[in-house]
């Protein structure tokens, strides 16, 4: 008589997201539908006790029921990665101890500081921002093209609070005008005018008295330029890569393929200040949320592609103008991304308490990179709870694919180990886990492990 098959334990996954992110629930349902031993529930009241898995928005996670044996889709503490000023500190500390790290080349010079009022700039430019003040002086004395910088609020998201400047006057204007506290009358006036007061619109402004942590970063003024819709434009557009990174336990890290490429809405032009206003950001905006906030109804249809699908695109600027991007350069870019992701997580672990790896947690991060006209990549920022809608409807199946891969790599092996089954945590380092999931219409290679380390005292 054949031995009876062991009945799989029925498990519950609790998924809670705001109504505006219903598409995440839909993608999760597709991923879990292939596993009869899992039930996906979106109402906490329907779950008795603690769910086996919480896969929810960070603000919806019930940390009180988190205990050994349960799994959650977020680390509790990860500010060393996701806050712009903390990330800059994390990288600087790591590079000081590891001067051969690729982070020394792949992270633009970044200065972090605290500021609440514009009159604090004088002192900052003599101290934390001395490099910026020195650049101002060198530009003035040499008469050369000015060096451009980008300023960001450390805690702002969706591209809010991003500004370009190349002079002390422009920097003063940003904090005195764009980021100044609005009076009640000014707020009322901007509301009556549809929220368009200010150089970039009130939808993109931030309040310096509320957001006091800032970073200034060298602006990469020679990006790789490609036409987002081949044959429609003789001028190149700037784009950035959105790479989804899956961190598991304490600690394995994977990058998901394909990478997304998000394009600016208008052809790229070198930044310049006009006589009657600040820099026109339209050719520099690759963040889709920021494009909508500034351009409003005039925003063109968002152009999103994948890096792997751009191998046959023609480069429209820089030293490689007229050449095709090519498979070799695509792989070169991918390898740089993989190395940078691995080192930035090593840096976060070594930084101490600003990132704590939990053995019963995993998380999907949205990591943004810029590629310059010599195919070198620069890490821009790391986003927790990324906006998966940036793929657009046409490429939404990439998110389905990402969630299915994450389920197979981060979730199912965790519970198989609990049940005493042999569990494999995805591919070995450098290899790829290919998860078949419907017809994506794009080259989908799944997850590539880029880091595998044991964090001591992983809580």
φ, ψ dihedrals at 447, nearest 5°: -105, 140
Distance CA 98, CA 93 (A): 9
Q: What is the separation, in whole angstroms, between the first and last Cα of the chain?
A: 46
CB of 386 closer than 8 Å to CB of 393: no
How far is Cα 54 from Cα 70, in angstroms, rounded to an integer?
A: 8
pTM: 0.88
Q: Check residue 293 and give its pLDDT.
A: 47
* Max Cα–Cα distance, the chain, nearest Å: 91
Residues pairing with 378 in the sheet: 370
Asked whether the beta carbons of 405 and 435 are under 8 A apart, the reply is yes
Q: What is the pLDDT along the chain (459 residues), one digit of tens a residue?
A: 445 555 678 999 999 999 999 999 999 999 999 999 999 999 999 998 899 999 999 999 998 888 777 999 999 999 999 999 999 999 999 999 999 999 999 999 999 999 888 889 999 999 999 999 999 999 888 878 889 999 988 887 666 678 899 999 999 988 888 776 655 454 445 444 444 334 444 455 666 556 788 999 999 999 999 987 776 656 789 999 999 999 999 999 999 999 999 998 888 988 876 655 567 777 777 765 554 544 444 445 557 889 999 999 999 999 999 999 999 999 999 999 999 999 999 999 998 889 999 999 999 999 999 999 999 999 999 999 998 887 777 788 899 999 999 999 999 999 988 887 655 555 555 555 455 444 444 445 689 999 999 886 555
Helix (H, G, I), strand (E, B) or coil at 16: coil
Please tell me the predicted confidence (pLDDT) of residue 65: 83
């Amino acid at each position: 008589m054949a031995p009876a098959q062991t009945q799989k334990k029925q498990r519950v996954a609790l998924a809670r997201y705001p109504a505006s992110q219903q598409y995440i629930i839909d993608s999760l349902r597709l991923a879990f539908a292939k596993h009869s031993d899992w039930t996906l529930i979106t109402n906490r009241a329907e779950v008795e006790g603690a769910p086996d898995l919480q896969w929810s928005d960070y603000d919806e996670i019930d940390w009180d029921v988190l205990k050994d044996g349960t799994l959650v889709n977020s680390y509790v503490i990860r500010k060393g990665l996701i806050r712009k000023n903390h990330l800059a500190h994390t990288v600087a500390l790591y590079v000081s101890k590891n001067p051969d790290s690729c982070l020394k080349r792949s992270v633009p010079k970044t200065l972090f500081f605290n500021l609440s009022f514009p009159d604090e700039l004088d002192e900052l430019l003599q101290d934390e921002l001395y490099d910026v003040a020195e650049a101002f002086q060198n530009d003035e004395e040499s008469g050369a093209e000015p060096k451009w910088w980008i300023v960001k609020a450390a805690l702002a998201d969706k591209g809010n609070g991003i500004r370009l400047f190349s002079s002390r006057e422009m920097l003063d204007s940003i904090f005195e005008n764009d980021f100044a506290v609005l009076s009640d009358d000014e707020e009322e006036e901007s509301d009556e005018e549809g929220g368009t007061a200010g150089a970039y619109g009130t939808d993109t402004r931030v309040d310096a008295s509320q957001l006091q942590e800032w970073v200034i970063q060298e602006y990469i003024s020679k990006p790789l330029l490609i036409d987002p819709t081949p044959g429609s434009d003789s001028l190149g557009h700037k784009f950035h890569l959105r790479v989804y990174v899956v961190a598991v336990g304490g600690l394995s890290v994977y990058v998901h393929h394909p990478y997304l490429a998000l394009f600016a809405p208008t052809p790229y032009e070198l930044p310049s200040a006009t006589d009657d206003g600040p820099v026109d950001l339209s050719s520099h905006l690759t963040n889709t949320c920021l494009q909508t906030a500034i351009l409003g109804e005039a925003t063109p249809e968002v152009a999103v592609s994948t890096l792997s699908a751009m191998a046959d695109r023609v480069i429209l600027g820089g030293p490689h103008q007229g050449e095709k991007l090519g498979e070799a350069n695509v792989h070169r870019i991918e390898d740089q991304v993989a190395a940078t992701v691995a080192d930035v997580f090593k840096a976060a672990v070594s930084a101490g308490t600003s990132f704590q790896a939990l053995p019963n947690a995993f998380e999907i991060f949205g990591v943004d990179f810029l590629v310059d006209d010599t195919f070198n990549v620069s890490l821009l920022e790391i986003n927790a709870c990324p906006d998966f809608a940036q793929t657009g409807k046409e490429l939404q199946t990439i998110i389905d694919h990402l969630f299915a891969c994450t389920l197979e790599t981060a979730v199912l092996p965790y519970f198989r180990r609990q049940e005493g089954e042999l569990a494999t945590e995805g591919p070995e380092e450098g290899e790829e886990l290919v998860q078949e999931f419907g017809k994506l219409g794009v080259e989908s290679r799944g997850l590539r492990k880029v880091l595998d380390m044991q964090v001591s005292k992983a809580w």
